[in-house]
């Protein structure tokens, strides 16, 4: 996949960090400047900028420049794509687990039937 197209991996990596999730939560309430986003954190502006770049690489944050200000906004599309992938995996595994459960229940029924047959003895 070309580096310019955000991937599911980029999205999941971006969401793995509590600082980045906090930045996304702030942006979900509206656009903000980088300095405003950095304010609640006890880390350097440079560190916050690195977190923001990772969010941008994942496509979760968009940046526009207005004079000397960098205005950031939230883009939910990568989250929607991640949620769709997770739901697909969930459905797949639920189906497999149901099939396994049915197989195990059938084996239990057969085992109980053989045990009953054995207890009755030969006829």
3-class secondary structure, 66:
strand
The pLDDT score that the predictor gives to residue 65 is: 93
Does the pLDDT value for residue 70 go beyond 50? yes
How far is it, in rounded angstroms, from Cα 117 to Cα 17? 59
| 15: Cα separation from own chain's centroid | 7
Do the Cβ atoms of 46 and 35 come closer than 8 Å?
A: no
The pLDDT score that the predictor gives to residue 1 is: 47
| 23: Cα separation from own chain's centroid | 16
- Average predicted confidence (pLDDT) for the chain: 91
| 92: Cα separation from own chain's centroid | 17
Token pair, residue 77, equals 């599309």
**DSSP code at position 26:** H
Interval 5-31: pLDDT, tens: 569 999 999 999 999 999 999 999 999
């Amino acid at each position: 996949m070309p580096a310019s197209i955000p991937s599911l991996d980029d999205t999941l990596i971006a969401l793995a960090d509590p600082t980045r999730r906090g930045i996304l939560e702030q942006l979900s309430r509206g656009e903000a400047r980088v300095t405003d986003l950095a304010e609640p954190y006890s880390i350097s502006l440079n560190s916050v900028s690195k977190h923001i770049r990772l969010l941008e690489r994942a496509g979760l944050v968009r940046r526009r420049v207005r004079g000397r200000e960098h205005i950031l906004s939230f883009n939910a599309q990568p989250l929607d794509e991640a949620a769709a992938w997770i739901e697909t995996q969930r459905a797949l595994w639920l189906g497999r687990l149901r099939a396994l459960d049915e197989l195990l229940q059938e084996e239990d029924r057969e085992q109980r039937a053989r045990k009953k047959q054995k207890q009755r003895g030969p006829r």
